[in-house]
Structures are given as structure tokens and as C-alpha cells.
Amino acid sequence: MFNAFKTFSVLSPLAFIAFLSTSFLLKNSIKQTDTNKVKPNIIIVLTDDQGWADVGFNGGSDIPTHNLDRIAKEGVVFSNGYVSHPYCSPSRAGLLTGRYQARFGHDCNMPYHGENDETIGTPLSEKMISEALKEQGYITSAIGKWHVGDHPKLHPTEQGFDYWFGFPGGGMNYWGIPDGPLKTIYKNGVEVSQEELSYLTDDFTNEAITFINENKNKPFFMYLAYNAPHAPDHATKQYLDNTKHIEYAGRSIYGAMVNGVDVGLGKIDSTLTALSIKDNTIIVFLSDNGGRVEHADNRPNRGHKGMLFEGGIKVPFCMSWPAGLSGEQTYAHPVSSLDLFPTLLNIAGGDAKLEKQLDGIDLMPYLENKVDGKPHELLFWRSSGGFEYAIRKGGFKLYKSAYKNKTLLFDLENDPLERHDIASFNSDIVQSLEAEYTKWNSKNIAPRWFDPHEKNVIKEETKFKNKRANSLSPKLKKG
């Protein structure tokens, strides 16, 4: 420092001023670079119809998920992690916007038949997390299943994503064989040739790794939405070999599909490590809803995808960030997929308080023990405009169930498995929770379209009751 100032003394006044200006610019350039390095990379990994117990970190033991379990151990597991809807498209709309999707009438999957126009899906007026992170200097990508807008005007590249590799619709075969515009793999709107595809889970993983390698020197956000383990049940020999110990064919194939995701995440994690960016990369993992009816394992929770029992809305959910979040944590208070938008935006340097539309809560102050209490005292769910709905307030949960054709009340603190309906002798609590729902729902709009959920619920419950009845003794049936 002494030698530097000694040098300054022999400079002319103009040269000295020029030197200071250059030093100031260099200092600020370094500061900006450091800021970019501090901004963490963000990866949201979403699976499709995966059950609660289909991961080791929730106690599953038959499907190998070693990589997922390691990532979960490096961060926090949300043991009461919910999504905002019990099935696919609406749940994704909630996650991406940080809002209850009923606010903008996205209660249902898009109609299955015919071509949907740009009025069907999450509208462009809704700000997605991708758009908010772009404002913070992030490069953004969507890889995998989209399913929040079929029309090209609602595709990811119109919703704040710089890059998109995937298919628009709700599901497709895993070999990438095109079957109409919703079941075709596109790269930024251009159809991908069959020669470039192998097995979609692997293809999505490979695209993710390519994106990471190409953007390793800048903050990036990746929404990696695998369609596994959604039907159809397709797997490679490698993943089938990894689940050959499961002696039930359907479960074995399903498990292989989950294992394919796990292997892919292991490759992604290794890539982050090799590039020396793992420590400052946030990885969030969750399923879009509870496990599907067949082959998934939602135990010990009651119900499955489509239901508002815990098995339909409570999902495997974890978050790791070695540089910013202590590992080996389990967070027991209820959290929601809606919380990801404000949490990640604030971490990225934004201010979620300025996003007045958000229904989610920044979780970091709670995870860092900077504030007391719970992120949520109230959580809500609505299907098909209130055909079914649920409210969780504290330890109580009210469920207006179309499956059971009654309104149920559970004390989740003492009955987390929802075995005992206590509605009949707690009418005051029922009325109070129904009033909370009415107040919340007054800020929503009617569904802007419908799907077959209502018919499917009635059909499924009828089948359920008939099968149980047919198991009884003929004597009992006559009685």
C-alpha cells in the first residue's frame, strides 16, 4: 500500500484522476462479478404422480433412490409438504405462479379432446417464477412436461423461459414417438427428430446437463419436470434391472421409472460437483401430487392422486443448498409448493413483498430459526370449483369429499392418518372452517373450463364400494 501511494505522488494530476477512475470501475466490476457468483443456481425437480413412500427419505425401502436420499440429507426434508391441488395441471399452475390456481380459474386439467386455444391454461397475465427470476439476471429453462397451456402462445418460451425442451401435454410415451401436437418433443418450438431421442427420462436428464454446462458461469434457473412415473409404464433394461427384486411386475416397472429419475439426478449432482458449483446450487425436489392409484405407495397416508385426503396432496418434498442451508434437517410445520416462488425469489436477490399477488410465504426465515411460529396457519384446496374442497387450520382439517359424499373433519395432530372423522360431534369447528373457506373462496373465480374429474370420482367410488361388497359372504349380501 505504501509503494502504491509513493507511485501516485509522481503521477500528474490528470494521470492520477484517470488512475482512480479506472480503479473505481475495476472495483465495481469485481463487485458485480462477486454478486453474480453469490446468486445461487436454482433447480426445481418435479416428478409426476409419485407416492409419498416412493423415496427412501420418507421411509421407502423397495425402490432405489440413493441419490435423492443423499440430496435430501444434505438439506431439509419437509415432512408436511403439500401441493396446492391433488392432480396435475392445476398443481403445476400453482407452483409456477406462487398463487392458488383458483385465483385465475385453473381448477382443472385442460380438456383432453380437440385443440385448446390460448384462453385455456395459465394466462400470460399471471407472472411465473421464471419471469421473476429473469428480472434478477437469471437465464431460465423448462425441461420436460409442461401441461399448463397447450396452445403455442402459452408455451414456456412465452412465460419467461429462455429455453424449452419437452412436450406440451399431460403425458406421452417414453420413447418420444410423436402422437399429435401435445405429445411431441420440441426444442424451443421446433420438433425434435426421433434420432435424437432415446428414453425421455434420460433425454430430459441429458438436456439438463447440457444446459448446466453451457450456463455454468451465470446464475441459472431450471424447471426440470420429469413425466416419470406417470403412465404409460415404460422403462429401460438398466432401470428394470435395478428393481428386479420387486416381485410384483407393475410395482417393479413403476419403481424402475422412479429409479430412472434418481439415476438422472445423480448425474446432474455429479455435474454440479465437477463444475464446482454444487455448493451454491439450490435443488428442490417434489412430486406434483400424491401417487397414482396403481403401483404408487402413499402409505401411511390415506388416499391417492385426485383426493384431498393427505395421500393426494402431501408429497415427497425436500430442498438442499449446501452454501446456505444446514443439512440433516426435518421441518415438520406445514409448507406448500406455493412457498417456492417467494422463497427462491428472495434468495435470488428479489423482494417477494413487491409481488402482491403471491399466496406463498418465504420459508428461509423459518428454516434459519430467525422467526418463531409457523409459515401457515391456514391452507386451502379446491377442485372443480368447489366440487371438493379442504381447509387445514392448525391441526384440524376439513374435507368436503365427493368421494364419500360427506364433509369430514380430522384432528391431524392426534390422527395424522385421517382414520377418525370427528365432524359429527364438532359442529362448531366444522362451521368455523367452512366460514374460512367461504372467505378464501370469495377471492377466487369460477373454473374457466372443466375436465372429467367429477365423473371419474363418482365412477371410482362406485367401483370401490362394489368391490368391497363383492368380497362379503353371500349371506351378508342377502341381509
What domains appear along the chain, each with residue ranges and CATH number? 38-372 (3.40.720.10), 379-466 (3.30.1120.10)
Question: Percent of the chain at pLDDT above 70?
Answer: 92
Q: Give the pLDDT score at 31.
A: 33
Nearest to 374 by CA among 418, 430, 431, 336: 336
d(CA 378, CA 374): 10
Amino acid at 230: H
Cα atoms in the Cβ-side hemisphere of radius 13 Å centred on 179: 10
What's the rounded Cα separation, in Å, for the pair 203 and 167? 12
Render 38-65 in DSSP notation, one character per residue.
Answer: HSPEEEEEEESS--TTSSGGGT--SS--
- Give the whole-angstrom CA distance, residue 348 versus residue 177: 38
In the residue annotation, 304 being an active-site residue is answered as: no
Considering only 32-41, 90-99, 377-386, which range has the smallest mean pLDDT?
A: 32-41
Kindly tell me if the per-residue pLDDT of 34 is higher than 70: no
Q: What percent of the chain has pLDDT over 90?
A: 89
- The yes-or-no verdict on residue 327 having pLDDT over 70 is yes
Asked if residues 183 and 172 have their Cβ atoms less than 8 Å apart, the reply is yes
Helices 200-214 and 249-274, axial angle in degrees (round to 10): 10
Grid cell 488512475 is found at 19
**For residue 160, is it left (φ>0), alpha (ψ between -120 and 50) or beta?**
left
When pLDDT is cut at 50, 70 and 90, the band that residue 475 belongs to is confident
- 85, 147, 230, 453: the active-site residue: 147
Instruction: Average the pLDDT over 241-249 and give the result.
Output: 98
Given pLDDT bands bounded at 50, 70 and 90, which one contains residue 473?
confident
**Per-residue pLDDT tens digits for 428-459:** 999 999 999 999 999 999 999 999 999 999 99
- What is the model's pLDDT at position 478? 62
pLDDT digit string (tens) for 393-437? Answer: 999 999 999 999 999 999 999 999 999 999 999 999 999 999 999
Among the residue ranges 1-10, 37-46, 159-168, 216-225, the one predicted with the least confidence is 1-10
Look at residue 479 in the predicted model and tell me its pLDDT. 52
CB-CB contact of 176 with 210 (8 Å): no
The yes-or-no verdict on residue 69 having pLDDT over 60 is yes
pLDDT per residue over 280-311, tens digit each?
A: 999 999 999 999 999 999 999 999 999 999 99
Question: What distance, in Å, lies between the first and last C-alpha atoms of the chain?
Answer: 99
Mean pLDDT of 457-462: 93
pLDDT of residue 216: 96
Q: Distance between alpha carbon 153 and the CA centroid of its chain, in Å?
A: 23
215-243 mean pLDDT: 98
> How many Cβ atoms sit within 10 Å of the Cβ of residue 22?
10
Catalytic residue list contains 318: no
pLDDT-derived band at 21 (thresholds 50, 70, 90) equals very low
Supply the pLDDT for residue 113.
Answer: 76
The predicted pLDDT at position 25 comes to 38
Catalytic residue among 85, 88, 155, 453: 88
Q: Whole-number mean pLDDT of the chain?
A: 92
Q: What is the DSSP letter of 109?
A: P
The yes-or-no verdict on residue 323 having pLDDT over 60 is yes
